[in-house]
Amino acid sequence: MVTVNLHAFGEFVRKHRPALEVRAAKLCTGSPVDSTELVGETLERALSVFERLQDQDTTAVTQWLDGAMSRCFARMGGQLPDSRSAAPDLQQTFDLLRARFREVYGQPAFGKSASATTAWRM
């Protein structure tokens, strides 16, 4: 059985809870998930791996907490925003390429026959 230094974990909670509450409030807006419960679930997961987390730098801990919160949110019935919608449309990107590059990128993959060969120099 692993024992956790509760004083150290209390300090950990005091340090990270405000940012977790802000993120939970944003995630839970318009969702059936309660933000307070989400923060509690996230901190409960952090407690189970606290020995590993306390040796990490702040950036690594924040990334771990964000990932844990996202997983808890999804498990509690929340719908995570689709990050792919912010990505540029493939056709828009293709259209932005210079004509010479569009010709090359439009060719079939290696090993497949192409209907026309491209002969140009850069």
Q: Which domains does the chain have, with CATH numbers?
A: 6-75 (1.10.1740)
| Encoded tokens for 71 | 């997983």
- Whole-angstrom CA distances from 93 to 98, 101, 108, 122 are 10, 12, 18, 20
Position 104 pLDDT exceeds 80: no
User: Which of 105, 86, 87, 85 has its CA nearest to residue 95?
Assistant: 105
- Residue 87 CB neighbours (<10 A): 9
pLDDT at 74: 86
Task: Please report the pLDDT score of residue 122 as a whole number.
Answer: 46
Confidence of residue 108 (pLDDT cuts 50, 70, 90): low
Global pTM value: 0.62
